[in-house]
Amino acid sequence: MSNRKRTVLVTGGMGGLGESICTKLADLGYTVVTTYSPGSSKAVGWLAEMKERGYHFHAYALDVGDTDACASVISQIEKDVAPIDVLVNNAGITRDMTFKKMTKVDWDAVLNTNLNSVYNTCKPVVDGMVERGWGRVINVSSVNGQKGAFGQTNYAAAKAGMHGFTKSLALEVARKGVTVNTISPGYIGTKMVTAIPQDILDSKILPQIPVGRLGKPEEVAGLIVYLASDEAAFVTGANIAINGGQHMS
């Protein structure tokens, strides 16, 4: 199977890291499908902007925390486009606050979008990968799932849980030509991070990063491209840190 024939689904692909993942995979000949939050107003504009840049992406509204919606939309994608060969679980949200202030609603929102979503998207695609004898699942976690972070009990729990899922599923499908891996980015120069006031970046964040800068979205996308490739067939159940040396385990 050549890269040109492979179809990748990137959840939360419109913006920041997701956009870099989509464009880098498209540059290598993958057919790229992405999802966006239902009710988001940016899908039409984003698709038009991407088309101007030469990218023809397929996009579907999807609440990744909704199990039935994931089954339905992924079934539609496979009818409209092709079976999914590579799944990149990139969609995620934050509801940062101290545990003292955190409500059950804040906890549930983050666990549902960041962790339950991994079950919801893998469930409809992994059996097909196994049947075809080839597949890649790449779960985008976070350095804070490894080391914890003040005000992120919900987010860190979800991102750590994601890797437990990765390891267990990897064991189940390892002999079937399907790999399952986690990547854990540190601070990446997306709009969300660059919106942090410069003095906070300079005084609190950059001093924690030995390479002395934020990561680039295309660097993370490059790691995902590798994990999606034939050359990565011996890498499974791994959690690959990409954090500029901020946290080493």
189 exposure class (CB count in 10 Å sphere: 0-12, 13-18, 19+): middle
- Does the annotation mark 60 as catalytic? no
* Residue 114 to residue 98: CA distance in whole angstroms: 18
For 131, the token pair is: 């049947």
Torsion angles phi and psi, residue 10, rounded to 5: -115, 110
Beta-bridged to residue 188, according to DSSP, are 215
Contact 193, 187 (CB under 8 A): yes
The dihedral sign for the CA sequence 225, 238, 217, 162: positive
Closest CA to 35 of 18, 55, 13: 13
Contact 64, 11 (CB under 8 A): yes
Residue 23 DSSP symbol: H
* Residue 152 to residue 114: CA distance in whole angstroms: 13
- Catalytic residue of the set 30, 36, 60, 155: 155
Mapping DSSP to helix (H, G, I), strand (E, B) and coil, where does residue 232 land? helix
Q: Give the catalytic positions in this structure.
A: 155
